[in-house]
Structure 1
Amino acid sequence: MSTELRVPSAAASAAALPQLDRALRAEPKAPVRIVHLGLGAFHRSHQAWYTQQAGDAAEWGIAAFTGRRPDAAAALAEQGGLYTLVERADTGDSFTVVGSIVEAVDGADVQRLAELVAAPGTAVVTLTITEAAYGLGADGRLDTAAPEVATDLALLGSGGGTPATPLGRLVLALGARRDAGSGPIAVVCCDNLSNNGAVARQAVAGFAGALDAGLAAWIDVNVSFVSTSVDRITPRTTDEDIAEVQGACGYRDNLPVVAEPFSSWVLSGGFPAGRPRWEDAGALVVADIKPYENRKLWLLNGAHSLLAYAGQLRGHRTVAEALSDPLCRQAVESFWDEAEANLPAGELQIPAYRAALLARFSNARIAHNLSQIAMDGSTKLRVRAVPVLQAERAAGRSGAAAALMISAWMDCSAALTEFQDPLADAVDAANLLTDTNRTRALLALVDPILAANDSVVHLIRSLQGSFDKPPSTSAEALDPSRKDLQ
């Protein structure tokens, strides 16, 4: 169970504060039964938090591996895996010590990863490796020619070296489980991708198939790929957050995580070796996850991407700042109208969900930086904007609000000095072109089929520069019902 912390007396001095470690908690570590790839703030605010809230949490410890850098693992290991979750609401903060991560490991330690995944008691592997890390091309298959993937395949094929990609590391570990005869296991994708379990399956199967046909066949039979929809706004931790935890809780935590009070987790798929009772913390287990995925990907993540690009073009820094701009707010509402028109009514409770999102986005105490959300746009737009634009066009409507999101991404790609994207070189090359040629080349990086549609290209071209206007510009300029956008 979670440990709610009380504010210490004013007599507590910073000089006398202890380091946060297992000595502050009476309960022992749970055995490792979950292995996580992608140790970061979101995992610690979401899956680790849900695991701690499960009624059988004492049976489910997490071993979490970092991605490219070992820093988070080293810092968390110094604290015995403990950290403070700060739930930040408009009315104030609450503090909880989370202890479900019982081992924090440098992701480059593939030997330890293989040992843990191969252990008979391990039942679940969860992933937060970001959308781009799955490496699927426009055809939905793993791009085995991508430099990092090709390098890992060569390393593993030669029987030496340490794979650098999450896929390479995971496939190596699954191979160890096969060799150990430890039986079936579930892989749970927690990244913001539609039907993300199928995406993970395609990526893992593609990598394994290129490496070892026998291993690929074993994975096909023994590994369940679970789709999920995850939701909890988790901004980057600041020095001020660390100081606040120290002042309020009476100990030094070098790795707290800040999140909004709201959280949601919807899962669909099989767990052949078992799982924690995540539903004790409010998780939903459903037969059909697609409507929930689309609600979240389009309404929350789509709005986030739109605000990230439009907001930065307007000079804003955070989601709350961008939403307070009438031009950005109108763009979000128009996109939501298009998305809602393509979602099933009823159990999804879309009007209430939209109202809740406005309240969450407006929480000025959650400094969700637009630059963080804007990363990897060419990948994110494929699931946040493209499906809505396609559905609107298929229904005989313009899809102008979804097209506006794509056009804002294009504008940002040229306007921002720090623009991070997995296709950065191709983006830079496209930006050397002019007019319609530039628009078509950039759109082809997001969706080649749309890029071949002259009407869509001209629509997006007509919307470029929409946010390069002074803040006094009327929001009516972005009204998708305008005839010139049809």
Structure 2
Amino acid sequence: MTRLAHLGLGAFFRAHQAWYTERANALAPGDPAPAEQWRYTAFTGRSPELAAALTAAGNRYTLVERGAEGDESTQVTSIAASFAGDDTDAWTAAFCDPELAVVTVTVTEAGYDAATSPAPGRLLSGLAARRAAGGGPLALVSCDNLAGNGEVLHGAVVRLAEASDLDLARWIERKVTFPSTMVDRITPHSSDPLTVITEPFSEWVIAGDFPAGRPAWDAVGARFVDDVAPFERRKLWLLNAAHSTMTYLGLLRGFETIDQAWGDDEIRATVEQLWNEVRPVLGFEDAETDAALAALRPRFANPRIAHRLEQIARQGREKLAQRQRAIMAARLEAGLPAGDACRATIEAFDEIVKKGIARVD
């Protein structure tokens, strides 16, 4: 059944939501969930090229999980149809389909501002068409790296509706849910539209209701919780804060990628110290934190997924405020010293700015 739609057809969606759906579809009878086939109608953000390439290939593509020791390839068939973002007829038809149950969204963090992005307006137009067609409830699921992304998407869509059609806004409040998610999987750019390169690790944490049903994502690794916020903080303070530490210390030593920085004994020791500083203010049991760190170490060491320091360095002041400075504030509030590893990261950032080694704005 084509009961899913997606906005933001790109590499991350194909490495994450479409891949989870592929695996859920592969469940055999007797497994934790029935082998019900859910497939996507997917739309690009703007460009038609990717949709055209996928359509020509029967909407099949190869997902390559690139581990340190080798590759594992999977043929993904969970996309039933691909369309350019400006195909309004296909967009309207997808939303008017009474079988549609879930719409997922990956439009980047900047895509939720109706003043600068067409995404909220496009979603609203689809919902308006669904309401006019007498369609039933559905879930709109943001899968972007944005804190409280479900609340952000809800606010963007409902505010836009209230400005033009109060009845539509009320219908959305009654019929549409906006689950929040935390997503994690490094997916470098690939020049081949029919091949997606990604790391072996993936994580998907979801909180919220799906009034018209959903694939058995929970049976293939997705985690359903009451509140995503603690998991967002865990990712921000363990993974992202470590990225900042390795980036600024690594750039000062002439490194270019995360695996190179992780391979430096002093930098790796500083990251481990950072994690020790985070642990008492993270809010998780030691076993949960230990499991998260055990997954991070091989990810950082993987030399075949090139995560470039110059890319991570950008928007550094904003990132440090959410990462190292927030950790320091939490420690001080808990009556603990601010933290030497956090301070070392900020000092390295200041040195990068002073020397003009990398773009950090």
TM-score range (shorter-chain normalised) is 0.7 to 0.9
What is the aligned partner in structure 2 of residue 480 from structure 1? none
How far did residue 362 of structure 1 move?
Answer: 0.2
Shift of 1:255: 2.2
Shift of 1:418: 5.9
Q: How many percent identity over aligned positions?
A: 47
1-structure distance, mates of 2:154, 2:346? 28
How far apart in 2 are the matches of 1:301 and 1:70?
33
CA apart distance, 1:389: 3.8
Whether 1:222 aligns to 2:182 is no
Equivalent position of 1:126 in the other structure: 104
Q: How does 1:153-302 map to 2 (within 5 A)?
A: 165-237=118-190, 254-302=193-241
Cα contact 1:390–1:399 (8 A) shared by 2: no
- The question of 1:113 aligning with 2:52 is answered no
Give the corresponding residue for 1:398: 338
Q: Give the match for residue 62 of structure 1.
A: 40
**Which stretch shifts more, 82-91 or 373-382?**
373-382
Separation of aligned partners in 1, 2:133 and 2:69: 52
Residue in 1 that maps onto 2:284: 345
Check conservation: 2:314, 2:359, Cα contact below 8 A: no
Q: Deviations over 1:416-471 (max 9, x none)?
A: 6766xxxxxxx5xxxxxxxxxxxxxxxxxxxxxxxxxxxxxxxxxxxxxxxxxxxx
Rg (Cα) greater in structure = 1
Shift of 1:185: 0.9
Q: Kindly state the Cα deviation for residue 112 of structure 1 after the two structures are TM-superposed.
A: 2.1
Mark the CA change 1:165 to 1:330 in structure 2 (over 3 Å): closer, same or farther. Answer: farther
User: Is this contact kept in 2: 1:52–1:99, CA < 8 A?
Assistant: yes
Instruction: Report the number of matched residues.
Output: 351
Alignment CA distance shift 1:256-1:381 (3 Å): farther
Q: Does 1:97 align with 2:67?
A: no
Q: CA deviation at 1:113?
A: 1.8
Amino acid of the structure 2 residue aligned with 1:70: P
Q: In the alignment, is the contact (CA less than 8 A) between 1:85 and 1:257 conserved in 2? A: yes
Q: Counterpart amino acid of 2:118?
A: T
Change (3 A) 1:103 1:286: same
Is the Cα–Cα contact under 8 Å of residues 193 and 383 in structure 1 kept in the other structure? no
Q: Distance in 2 between matches of 1:356 and 1:170?
A: 36
* Residue number in structure 2 paired with 1:438: none
Q: 1:93 to 1:342 in 2, by over 3 A?
A: same
SS of the residue corresponding to residue 182 of structure 2 reads strand
Secondary structure of the residue that 2:52 maps to in structure 1?
Answer: helix
Distance 2:19 2:120 in 1: 25
**SS of 1:342 mapped into structure 2:** helix
Q: 1:170 to 1:314 in 2, by over 3 A?
A: farther
SS state at 1:349 partner: helix
Superposition deviation, residue 259 in structure 1: 1.6
Instruction: Name stretches of at least 5 consecutive residues in structure 2 with no aligned partner.
Output: 28-33
The 8 Å contact of residues 235 and 369 in structure 1, kept in 2 or not, is answered as no
Deviations 1:98-156 (A, max 9, x none): 01011122122233223212321111111122222223xxxxxxxx6x4x2xxxxxxxx
Decide whether the 8 Å contact of 1:229 with 1:265 is kept in 2.
yes
Query: How has the CA–CA distance of structure 1 residues 172 and 354 changed in structure 2, closer, same or farther, with 3 Å as cutoff?
Result: same
Please state how far the C-alpha of 1:308 moved relative to its aligned partner. 4.0
Structure-2 residue corresponding to 1:45: 15
Cα offsets for 1:338-360 (capped at 9, x unmatched): 33222223276212321320111
Extract unaligned runs of 5+ from structure 1.
1-30, 136-143, 149-163, 243-253, 420-426, 428-486
